[in-house]
Structures are given as C-alpha cells and as structure tokens.
C-alpha cells in the first residue's frame, strides 16, 4: 500500500517534480494520481481541490495526502517529508536552514517562469512575446547570475566542506537545486554555458545529485538498484508512474520547455532600451 498520494498535473513536471524527486530519493511507495491508469488523469488531480468535507483546502497542486491530511505548497510538503525520510538535518537550525534554501529556490522558479509568461499563465507566449523578451533580458543580465552566485556561496560555506548545501548529506533542497539547474540548462543553454564556469560548485552539485542511485534510477540512467528492496506494492506504484514519464532528453522543468504552441525565445541581446528599470535587488 502506498504511504503517500501525490496530486500533480500529469503532463508537466514543474513544482510537482520537486516532490517526486524527494519521494523517489526516500524510496517510499507513493501513488502519482495524475499518472495512474492508462493515461493522464487531470480530473483526478483537480478533484482534490474540490473535495467535500475538507476545511483546510489546498489552493493548487502539488498536493500530498499523508496521514489523512492534505498538504500543499512544495516547500511545505518537503518540510514535512524531509525529517521523516532522511532528507533534512536532525537539528532544528538545520531544518530551518534547508527550508530557507527551498523557499529561495521557489522564488527562483517564479522568476524563471516569468521570462516567458511575464503577464501570467492565462496568456499564450505569443501574446506576450515582447514583454517576455524584455523580462528575459533582465533575468539573464542580473537575476540568473545573482541566484547562481548565491548558491555558489552557500556551497562554499557548507558545514564540513559540503559537498551538499547543508553539509555531507543530500537534502531535499539539493534535489530541487538539481532540478532547477537541469531546467535552466535545457531552456537557456547558452546562458548557462557562459555562467557555469564561474559557478563550478553549483554545476558539480547538479552532477553529484544526478549520480545518486535513486535519481539515476528515476531518470533511467545507470543500472536500476532498488528492485530487490521494493515491496510489490511500491514497485507497482513506481513502475506504473515511471512508464508514462518523459524521456531523459525531456527531463527539464517542463513549464519552460519548447513547444509548438508556446516556444521559448532565444536569449535576447540585452540593450539599454530593454533594461529601463532598476533591477530588483
């Protein structure tokens, strides 16, 4: 029987993938509702937002059902899972620090999303192309280096020399940073290629997390390692979920991926006319 039930949209990764990574790294059985059965089940995911008799109503997916409760907001879900499954430090100060890093990553994800949907998700990319170009220019020039520099600094000062954000062991924040960097490498390859040599610790963390057995298994690289340790129910739950996942080539944060309807524009050249406002500090 699955210990957890995850509700998230089946055809994108987005914020829900950060929760999936933690569940996979913890090797706990879970049911991925949107990806069960023979195809994508949007209705089952939407149902949890309208469930009768729930007073603490979630606003939007991802939602995790655990111990009879519905938990929403990615950082909140990970704050719950981390201490229970060895993905957070044992001490309160360490847990608060990892949560702080996760909230910073959430801010970063919003800024990345806004490079192609600065006026909001209700409009297609083509309807906000000019605004997106200007926003992307500011992001490439100021915000991307600022976030990369921050996490490079965190890794440089990690306890015991790292190699992870909070010290010697990976946390859910490391898993999320891996996913963000994977998405950026896919969506903005030239920008990352130009900046990563100056932020070697961040790139090395991405590669280190990608090589973790549970993550490599999830991505379909290397040799699956958990077959002998899974229960029958957990194997069924995970295998049915994984069968419908994108290929490794597509495993970036899919809200940023290129598509026929909403393509990602090339990195624009930053000019004074594009950057008229003082960037957010």
pLDDT in tens, 186-237: 999 999 999 999 999 999 999 999 999 999 998 887 544 333 233 333 333 4
Cα–Cα distance for residue pair 48/34, rounded to 1 Å = 11
In Å, what is the CA distance from 174 to each residue of 21, 122, 133, 154, 263? 10, 31, 30, 11, 29
Strands, DSSP E only, in the chain? 4-7, 30-32, 63-66, 69-72
pLDDT score of 222 = 54
Q: Is the pLDDT of residue 268 over 70?
A: no
Provide the mean pLDDT of the chain. 81
Task: Compute the half-sphere exposure of residue 45: CA atoms within 13 Å on the CB side of its CA.
Answer: 23
Which H or E run includes 76? helix 74-84
Question: What is the DSSP code (8-state) at residue 57?
Answer: -
- Average pLDDT (74-86) is 98
Please report which residue ranges of 196-257 form alpha helices under DSSP H.
200-210, 213-219, 232-242
% pLDDT > 70, the chain:
78
The model's pTM: 0.79
pLDDT score of 126 = 87
Answer positive or negative: Cα dihedral of 108, 114, 120, 121.
Answer: negative
Q: Is the pLDDT of residue 92 over 90?
A: yes
């Amino acid at each position: 029987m699955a210990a957890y039930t995850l509700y998230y949209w089946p055809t994108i990764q987005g914020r829900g993938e950060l929760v999936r990574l933690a569940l996979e790294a913890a090797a706990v059985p879970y049911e991925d509702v949107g990806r069960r059965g023979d195809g994508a089940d949007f209705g089952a995911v939407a149902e949890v937002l309208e469930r009768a008799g729930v007073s603490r109503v979630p606003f939007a997916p991802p939602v995790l059902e655990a111990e009879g409760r519905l938990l929403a907001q990615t950082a909140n879900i990970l704050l719950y899972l981390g201490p229970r499954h060895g993905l957070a430090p044992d001490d309160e100060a360490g847990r608060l620090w990892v949560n702080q890093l996760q909230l910073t990553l959430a801010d970063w994800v919003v800024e990345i999303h806004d490079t192609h949907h600065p006026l909001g998700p209700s409009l297609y990319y083509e309807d906000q192309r000019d605004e997106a170009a200007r926003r992307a220019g500011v992001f490439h020039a100021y915000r991307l280096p600022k976030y990369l520099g921050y996490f490079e600094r965190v890794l440089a000062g990690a306890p015991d020399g790292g190699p992870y954000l909070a010290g010697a062991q990976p946390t859910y924040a490391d898993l999320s940073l891996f996913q963000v960097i994977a998405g950026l490498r896919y969506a903005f390859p030239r920008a990352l290629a130009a900046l990563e040599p100056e932020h070697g610790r961040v790139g090395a963390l991405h590669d280190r997390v990608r090589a973790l057995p549970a993550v490599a298994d999830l991505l379909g690289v290397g040799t699956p390692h958990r077959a002998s340790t899974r229960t029958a129910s957990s194997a069924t739950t995970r295998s049915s979920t994984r069968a419908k996942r994108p290929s490794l080539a597509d495993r970036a944060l899919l809200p940023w991926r290129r598509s026929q309807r909403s393509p990602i524009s090339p990195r624009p050249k930053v000019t004074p006319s594009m950057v008229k406002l003082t960037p957010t500090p």
